[in-house]
Amino acid sequence: MAVEVKMPNVGESVQEGVIHKWRVKSGDFVNRDDVLVELETDKATVEVVAENSGVITIVKKQGETVAVGDVMASLDTDAKGSTAAKESTPASSKPSEKAEVKLPPPPTSSSTAPAAQSDLSPAARRITEELGVNPSQIVGTGKDGRLTKGDVIAHVESGSSKPQSGSNQANAASQPSPVKASLGSSAILGARSERREPMSMIRKRTAERLVKAQETAAILTTFNEIDMTNVMKLRNDYKDKFKEKYGVGLGFMSFFMKAAIEALKTFPAVNGWIEGNEIVYHDYYDIGVAVSSNRGLVVPVVRNAERLSVAELEMAVGDYGKRAKDGKLTIDEMTGGTFTVSNGGVFGSLMSTPILNPPQSAILGMHKIQERPVVVGGQIVIRPMMYVALSYDHRIIDGRESVGFLVKIKECVEDPSRILVGV
């Protein structure tokens, strides 16, 4: 019996996906619950498993876009593993017994023989015509003695080129020498190739959302700087015991998430958003953490972050970061969020203006910690400083609230004991 393998419904907002990678080939025997294919949606990568055992026949190829419900493959459940059918070759592609079989020409000592005009690659032919170089004077190093662009470049730069006879020789006489011409030739200066790759579903969706944020929100950014001395000392004092007890490193993200929650409690509009003519305020704190992956930026959400300890926040962020790189985040983990924290400092960014993650109204940007001279108590001292940025929707958040929000972040991080007592 043939059983269809369809694109599953992986989320209410997901209507289509791209076949990222087939884990099996047509003709393979697969067992129930084996992973058949990886689908890339605009939110996450989803694995589709076999619901039955049987021999698979692939219908949709890798890279094709499929909608929910589309048939991607079929399983022959009557076939057995020992007698699994192999991928068949069309009869038209098999040579007839009476058909004339043309054998490739025997290899020649092309590595030492000059290349003929027919042995030129398109790029090499174009260069020889532009510079008036006789290809028969150049030894080809490509496959079967084929003359490549690199061969022509090496020949010209060596100064051993001679103009061709006939019309090309006349043209060469009225032009600068090939060696001089080569200095201004883009082809001689190096490869100038181009390549095109389709955008991943995640990157396309991210691009759409970011453009929408720019078009629909009145985005402003305010800045402040934080003295990281105390939180760095706290981290250095306890990081070894923390790692030993919880099995995860003690970073700065958990401190900023805790500080952000305290600031959100003080300024609830920053934790809300606009829907039509209404402002939606949230009494819970689902904090999105921007994570870079090979397929684009993703923002998994730590739900009810206000209920989690520093250790639980670090474990959640570390787990999300690892699974984002492996493409293992689920749709549910990527959905929602009332506020986002982004750490560009891990890439060396000193300052930036982060873009909102719609429909959210604000995003906090962390940056690189850098020692700078600052004035403390009337004295110039060297302190580890970090710039922080808050991008916000001015339709819902006023300047007073945005500045006050960052001041609250600054106070909590510079004096971590405030987080413990909630002041």
Burial of residue 321, with CB atoms counted within 10 A of its CB: 0-12 exposed, 13-18 middle, 19 or more buried: middle
- At 63, the amino acid letter reads G
**Signed CA dihedral, 172, 173, 177, 181: sign only:** negative
Contacts of 417 (CB under 8 A, 6+ apart): none
Give the integer Cα–Cα distance in Å for 308 and 320: 15
Give the integer Cα–Cα distance in Å for 390 and 337: 16
Region of residue 335 (left: phi > 0; alpha: psi -120 to 50; beta: else): beta
Q: Is 282 among the catalytic positions? A: no
410-423 residues labelled b (16+ CB within 10 A) or e (exposed): bbbbeebebbeeee
- Considering 240, 326, 398, 415, which one is annotated as catalytic? 398
- Considering 144, 326, 394, 415, which one is annotated as catalytic? 394
- At 361, the amino acid letter reads S
Helices 149-157 & 122-131 angle (0-180, nearest 10)? 30
Q: Which sequence positions are flagged as catalytic?
A: 394, 398
